[in-house]
Amino acid sequence: MPVAKSAPGFRGWALPVSVITAGLIVASATWFWSGMTVVRAPSINLDGLHLSYGPKDFPAALMLANNAVALGEERVAYRGQDWLNQEVYARALMGRARLAPSFDDLATAGRALAKGKAAAIAGSGPMLTDAVYNLTVHRLAPISADLAVVEHAAVPADPGDLAEAKALRGDVAFFRGDYAKAIGLYRASAQISNGPGTLFRIAQWQKKTGRFDDAMASFAQAAAINDRRTPQFMANVYLQSGVVDLERGNWPAAETWFRKADRMFPGYWLTEAHLVQMWALRGHLAQAAQGYRRIIARSPQPDVIDALAALYRAQGNGTATRQWAARSQPIWAKRLQQLPEAAYTHALEHELVLGDPATALSLARQNMAARPYGDSITMLGWALLANNRPAEARNLIEALNRTEWRTAQQYVALSQAYAMLGDGDRSDAAREAALTINPRAFDPAAPLIWFGHH
């Protein structure tokens, strides 16, 4: 029989966003959830770290982003033939899209960069920005050609740009599943210019290979060396620290981080969504539903809409589940049309949990073709299970296990595959492997984890 869409542990893996911090200390309080003692929540010692500048909250940051886009529009209207104007406009659009995800902004940024590249003479142009853009929209193929121009320009790039180019090559290797090459390139980038961005990448690599403490240490170092700490930067530090604790099953510590992020940079919908999710994990489902509704009223992101639909599904409210899932579905359809590679991951999750398993499998295969790395492999495994193809899922995950990738989710999926195949011993062994990484991997509430992944 097909695996249930709400199989414990389906939700809850995590992937890069940005930043993390310095001076980890241990909080004095020990948390208890559902009678389970968990490790003490680490905190960040901000002694000696100062905030340099920057907007104090999300509305102020969004206003600045809107102003930057408006200025970019003026520049391209005045001299659109100058590739630098197109690059500045594209960067403004990408910056706003990072704050308030908009595929309209991303698609417009892509068109601006295409115009800029067409207008530039050979060996010049917005190539590094274009490489970042392609990584953002999950298009790996064009990145190498962009970086070749940066690395072999007639006027040598500065060390910071060369380091970023090296790190971007590491990103391509990471998302293609070559984890050894990725970490080598990240370390080579750090040798050129050891900035926070490279350390964030190293931390994410460490997190996805099961080295949680190392990841925290790398995030801490990244914050310590950053001399331009804004409230938004530090909020990302806290947010990503919480994601690490989600991955290793320390839910109370994760919630502590998310609260810090919310205090540091108030009004940010993504932080608020992470916090609301923690209410759901603590069993406050009605409060969580209200929280998601408040976020949707201000920022109707389809991820939040799907989280609300999944919450109603967990409560057995089929009518509300269908109503909210129907609201996000056309948004995913439009995004798949605009920038398919960038939409595959979340659109397939929508179908897998709230929609059609066959459609989810099709999207999972396309997602895997675009970025054949651990998260895509694990999600394809879940899609295969949802379509009653456990042998294929088993083979896929067993192959992943022969790499350095180590997340609880891959073993949860493998345990389910062996269970469906009637192999109880191997199912139990995979279950134990998952619990070693994340003691809450099979918690009945785990399917409510919608944020802090990918």
Q: Give DSSP secondary structure letters for 186-219.
A: HHHHHHH---HHHHHHHHHHHHHTT-HHHHHHHH
pLDDT confidence of 30, banded at 50, 70, 90? very low
Tell me what the mean pLDDT of segment 112-141 comes to. 96
- With a pLDDT cut of 70, the percent of the chain lying above it is 89
The single-letter code of the amino acid at 37 is T
Please give the domain boundaries of the chain with CATH numbers for all domains: 1-20+230-454 (1.25.40.10), 56-157 (no CATH), 166-228 (1.25.40.10)
pLDDT confidence of 218, banded at 50, 70, 90? confident
pLDDT score of 56: 95
Rounded Cα distance between 413 and 394, Å, is 8
Q: Is the pLDDT of residue 8 over 80?
A: no
Hey, which residues does 25 pair with through a beta bridge? 43
Cβ 19 vs Cβ 222: under 8 Å: yes
pLDDT score of 37: 37
Q: Where does 231-373 show beta strands of DSSP type E? A: none
φ, ψ at 32 (rounded to 5°): -130, 125
pLDDT confidence of 49, banded at 50, 70, 90? low
Tell me what the mean pLDDT of segment 176-184 comes to. 98
Rounded Cα distance between 167 and 443, Å, is 36
Tell me what the mean pLDDT of segment 378-396 comes to. 98
DSSP 351: H
Tell me what the mean pLDDT of segment 245-253 comes to. 95
pLDDT score of 453: 67
Cβ 245 vs Cβ 41: under 8 Å: yes
Give me the residue label for tokens 């999972």. Answer: 364
pLDDT confidence of 234, banded at 50, 70, 90? confident
The single-letter code of the amino acid at 53 is Y
Least confident of 114-123, 199-208, 231-240: 231-240
The single-letter code of the amino acid at 304 is V
- With a pLDDT cut of 90, the percent of the chain lying above it is 80
Q: Is the pLDDT of residue 265 over 90?
A: yes
DSSP 447: G
pLDDT confidence of 11, banded at 50, 70, 90? very low
Tell me what the mean pLDDT of segment 289-296 comes to. 98
Q: Is the pLDDT of residue 336 over 50?
A: yes
How wide is the angle at C-alpha 214 spanned by C-alphas 213 and 217, nearest 5°? Answer: 90
